[in-house]
Amino acid sequence: MKLTKIILTTLLLMVWVLSVPANASLEIDITRGHLDPTPLAIPNFSGSTDPERLIGEQIASVIRDDLERSGLFKILDPASYIEHQRNIDLKPKFAEWRVINSDALLAGRVVIENENRIRVDVRLWDVFAETHLFGQQMGTTPENWRRIAHKIADAIYQKLTGESGYFDTRVVFIAESGPKINRVKRLAIMDQDGANPTFLTPGSYTVLTPRFSPTAQQITYLSYSTMVPSVFLFNIETGRQEVLGDFPGMTFAPRFSPDGKKVIMSLVQDGNSDIWVMDLRTRRRVRLTSASAIDTSPSFSPDGSKIVFNSDRGGSPQLYIMNADGSNIHRISFNRGRYSAPVWSPRGDLIAFTQQNKGRFHIGVMRPDGTAERILTTAYLDEGPTWSPNGRVLMFTRETRPGGGPRVYSIDLTGSNLRRVETPGDSSDPAWSPLIE
């Protein structure tokens, strides 16, 4: 093991001499399942006063948790660290970090500039190549320290995997409580790691299936607060709620277009559900399907040119794709079972779905042409996947066993790293936000 590392390091140093950028040494391939996560050392961030050191401890702790949960990293126990750096601007003693087998070291410092502003400096070091991978300085208000931590975690993820991270994000979901025959369902929002959970609706009426706007601080969801259940818009900044359009019937299954300018949804007329799209500015609505079959759960491709949806036009619920104008409808799911709740990956390469087969529910993915289907999960009930903004992780609703309340879970696209997401009580219908600007 040690020898391999030394050989690797030597090789990498040689490569470096051959004028390749210094950061080429530590690279993580996230397309594979990781049985062997990369070891990282993240000491508490330094500070020259107690309040600075306290924030430094908290920030380091949130970064450790973010990276550990990704399954790609193993954060080494801070108690094992030999070197206790005083000044992060000096090169660390790499040998002392190699002894504890850390591949990389993140060092940070907190400065409270005044009561409204903190400054955080970080440096990421490649311990074996003895190189500086990146340095960054960030400033914010003291109570916003968690976002600094998530942004640093995103920067490390990006530096080491080559892809953008997903830690500085939020999740909107349905918080559930009460007995099954009289369930209270409230719209709720939290940070991706479960921190700062907040209820957005009072619980006196049922809300379902919230979805984040890809471009604005806006949510669309189904609400039973009106006589006819309808698709609503919720502005997160103002708290304002409004019915979307005056459709002649129940609307449900809403989702934003990738440019955030339209909402696509189902409308029920005479018991039949068809797919419509509404322009948010003009409020003009266009009908896209008109079959005497269930057409629902529409989801745009990231380039906005196509729509995947759920239909039982072939006799059982299956996945179909059409052009954004409703033309060229064709089926893409052909394996055993019932398919529903499709969601197009933000990378465009895959569609996640719910599959029901032999009394079990699964989350799976397939290519938009229906090939390369992979089932990632199985449980009494798994449903409603949502993609992380980088298209590497899925969250979904799970009931592990009959009668057990639903909870939000996450799994990597590789099928590894299944985790329960921290929520205040029972929870369902998660929807991931884009990366916060």
For another protein, the closer CB: 116 or 316: 316
The tokens for 159 are 């530096």
Shortest distance in whole angstroms from residue 216 CB to another protein: 23
Instruction: Provide the minimum distance between the beta carbon of 228 and another protein in the complex, in angstroms, as a whole number.
Output: 8
Q: Does 270 bind another protein (CB under 8 A)?
A: yes
Distance CA 78, CA 9 (A): 24
Q: Which residue from 157, 252, 300, 387 is in contact with another protein, where contact means CB under 8 A?
A: 252
Decide: is 230 part of the binding site for another protein (CB under 8 A): no
Cβ atoms of residues 52 and 62 within 8 Å: no
Q: How far is the CB of 301 from another protein (least distance, A)?
A: 19
Report the amino acid identity of residue 141: T
Q: What angle do CA 309, 315, 320 make, to 5 degrees?
A: 20
**Distance of alpha carbon 146 from the chain centroid:** 17
Contact between 180 and another protein per CB under 8 A: yes
Sign of CA dihedral 7, 9, 13, 15: positive
| DSSP label at residue 379 | B
Query: Do residues 433 and 389 make contact, with C-beta atoms less than 8 angstroms apart?
Result: yes
Encoded one letter per residue, x for contact with another protein by CB under 8 A and - for no contact, window 68-107 reads ----------------------------------------
Tell which one of 179, 238, 282, 336 touches another protein (CB under 8 A): 179
> Could you say which of 383, 386, 389, 392 contacts another protein (CB under 8 A)?
383
404 CB neighbour count, 10 Å cutoff: 13
User: β-pairing, 295-300 with 306-311?
Assistant: antiparallel
- β-bridge partners, 255: 264
Contacts with 324 (C-beta within 8 Å, 6 or more apart), sequence order: 300, 304, 305, 306, 307
Q: Taking the complex as a whole, how short is the minimal distance between the CB of residue 351 and another protein, in angstroms?
A: 15
Contact (Cβ atoms closer than 8 angstroms) between residue 259 and residue 215: yes
248 binds another protein (CB under 8 A): no
Residue 369 Cβ, how far from another protein at the closest point, in Å? 23
**Ranges within 273-332 binding another protein (CB under 8 A):** 273, 294-297, 310, 312, 316-317
Footprint on residues 410-429 left by another protein (CB under 8 A): 429
Stretch that binds another protein, among 9-17, 149-157, 263-271, 320-328 (CB under 8 A): 263-271
Residue 155: CB minimum distance to another protein, A: 36
Alpha-carbon distance 106 to 123, whole Å? 6
- Write the CB contacts of 2 (distance below 8 Å, at least 6 apart in sequence): none
Instruction: Give min distance, CB of 312 to another protein, in A.
Output: 8
Task: List contacts with another protein (CB under 8 A).
Answer: 179-181, 183, 185, 206, 208-209, 222, 227-229, 250, 252-253, 266, 268, 270-273, 294-297, 310, 312, 316-317, 338, 340-341, 354, 356, 359, 361, 380-381, 383-384, 402-403, 429
